[in-house]
């Protein structure tokens, strides 16, 4: 019996040594990862100033990123490996626009589509594409109406591209994410890839705010605190970065730079608030609310993770917001207490009138701006009313399909954290579409991401017994067995009756 126990102890000692070695390697990898993150953030701080001063640098950056994406799509074997590149492009879209890169307006959306289509064609075994494809097919008939009214002209091409490139991006992203399974490590890589260019946007907006001699805060959006570019898009992308960093705390392991994550998340949302564009902040507020409700209703073993997420929310509400209100001499609270929709409600009403008169097919892609009685010539700001006015009944079915895909993904999510991810990303996309249509590629990307299956566990480097659900439990048990075994050997050696 002692021989068997000694054999078990020897085996456990070997496991202990292996676990210790792996733990050391893991800690070193963690430190290396943190160094890489800090280096990339510093690089993008420098890049912000370079691109702000040079249109050529911004243009070269955009072309290089597209080239890297296409090369990886052609030579790589995994769709998952393309996603950080896609995230980087999505995060860079507003950066390229605000630094006047010499690229066409929808460059980012088409870049995402080209790279992912190449990856999907190589993937071959494509599944789950029927609903996203059907969503886009529903929008095609109205193209005929547009061409019939303005012909094969540049105006027709621009109207179709401006209004449908976002839907195309959503379709391709949805198909892609339905064909991958992301580990928590994959998700964190994607978030950091998105955060790097958002850091550049933040630096440009911050330097504009600090460098301005005098900032006059009015109840309107502020271009100075937005880095000289559209406050709506700057606020939206900064808010998205803050939300994803906050969500990262729900899945981040020990050793991750939590303090850095919290600092970045708070900084992004603070600058988004200062833009005085309410949309980006409202996106985050609603997304954070649904996450908190999901986690509280079914917390499982996620109390500590909830706590980290709540820390960010509490810092923003009770520390950052009051100080920003003081900084703006009360203009901030005045802005957020004003419920004026800046013409959006009137545009929605006019779009619904067009739908009433053209229920079957709508008026054609991009044509609502021509026929709308209110603010004619203004592009739609609400994707839902645009779908009704320009696509008719087909637009209604398209909206129903979006809701169906989200609900289906939520029910398929394996655990509370996964459901929280689906809820937060879907909420962000749906709210952003309600006030910014599909002007940015991030909407389609984030909605597609919401449909993805998030693996509840990581692939472990040590083979653990099946009856241990968590690697930490297995590692601790192995250590306990080794400790008990060593005590047994010492006690047997001391006993004269041991044979």
Please enumerate in sequence order all residues whose Cβ is within 8 A of that of 396, keeping only pairs 6 or more positions apart, or say none: 387, 388
Beta strand segments in 227-350, E: none
Structure confidence at residue 472 (pLDDT) = 42
Q: Which residues of the chain have pLDDT under 50?
A: 458-490, 492-499
Beta bridge partners of 361: none
Sign (positive or negative) of CA dihedral 150, 153, 155, 161: positive
Please enumerate in sequence order all residues whose Cβ is within 8 A of that of 350, keeping only pairs 6 or more positions apart, or say none: 368, 372, 373, 374, 375
- pLDDT, one tens digit per residue, over 151-192 is 888 888 999 999 999 999 999 999 999 999 999 899 999 999
Structure confidence at residue 379 (pLDDT) = 79
Structure confidence at residue 462 (pLDDT) = 37
Structure confidence at residue 460 (pLDDT) = 36
Structure confidence at residue 144 (pLDDT) = 94
Q: What is the CA radius of gyration of the chain?
A: 26
């Amino acid at each position: 019996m002692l021989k068997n126990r000694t054999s078990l102890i020897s085996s456990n000692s070997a496991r202990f040594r292996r676990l210790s070695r792996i733990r050391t390697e893991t800690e070193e990898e963690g430190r290396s990862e943190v160094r890489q993150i800090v280096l990339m953030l510093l690089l993008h701080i420098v890049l912000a100033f370079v691109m702000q001063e040079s249109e050529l640098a911004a243009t070269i950056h955009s072309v290089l990123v597209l080239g890297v994406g296409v090369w990886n799509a052609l030579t790589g074997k995994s769709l998952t490996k393309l996603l950080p590149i896609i995230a980087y492009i999505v995060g860079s879209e507003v950066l390229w626009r605000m630094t006047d890169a010499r690229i066409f307006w929808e460059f980012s959306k088409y870049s995402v589509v080209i790279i992912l289509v190449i990856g999907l064609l190589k993937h071959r075994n494509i599944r789950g594409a029927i609903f996203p494809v059907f969503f886009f097919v529903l929008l095609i008939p109205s193209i005929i109406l547009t061409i019939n009214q303005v012909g094969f002209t540049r105006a027709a091409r621009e109207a179709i591209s401006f209004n449908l490139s976002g839907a195309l991006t959503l379709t391709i992203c949805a198909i892609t994410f339905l064909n991958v399974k992301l580990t928590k490590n994959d998700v964190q890589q994607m978030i950091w890839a998105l955060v790097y260019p958002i850091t550049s946007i933040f630096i440009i907006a911050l330097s504009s705010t600090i460098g301005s001699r005098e900032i006059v805060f009015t109840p309107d959006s502020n271009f100075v605190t937005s880095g000289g570019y559209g406050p709506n898009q700057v606020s939206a992308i900064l808010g998205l970065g803050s939300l994803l960093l906050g969500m990262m705390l729900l899945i981040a392991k020990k050793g991750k730079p939590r303090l850095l994550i919290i600092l970045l998340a708070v900084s992004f949302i603070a600058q988004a608030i200062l833009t005085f564009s309410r949309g980006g902040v409202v996106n985050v507020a609603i997304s954070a609310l649904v996450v908190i409700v999901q986690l509280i209703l079914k917390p499982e073993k996620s109390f500590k993770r909830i706590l980290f997420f709540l820390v960010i929310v509490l810092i923003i509400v009770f520390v950052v917001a009051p100080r920003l209100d003081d900084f703006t001499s009360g203009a901030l609270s005045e802005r957020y207490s004003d419920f004026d929709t800046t013409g959006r409600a009137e545009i929605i009403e006019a779009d619904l009138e067009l739908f009433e008169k053209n229920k079957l097919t709508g008026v054609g892609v991009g044509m609502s701006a021509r026929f709308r009685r209110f603010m004619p010539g203004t592009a739609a700001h609400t994707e839902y009313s645009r779908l009704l006015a320009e696509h008719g009944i087909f637009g209604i079915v398209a909206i129903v399909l979006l809701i169906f895909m989200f609900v289906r993904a939520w029910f398929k999510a394996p655990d509370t954290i996964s459901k929280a991810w689906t809820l937060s990303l879907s909420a962000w996309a749906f709210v952003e579409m309600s006030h910014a249509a599909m002007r940015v590629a991030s909407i389609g990307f984030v909605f597609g991401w919401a449909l993805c299956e998030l693996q509840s566990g990581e692939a472990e480097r040590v083979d653990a017994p099946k009856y241990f659900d968590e690697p930490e439990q297995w590692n601790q048990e192995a250590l306990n067995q080794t400790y008990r075994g060593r005590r047994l050997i010492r006690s047997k050696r001391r006993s004269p009756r041991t044979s």
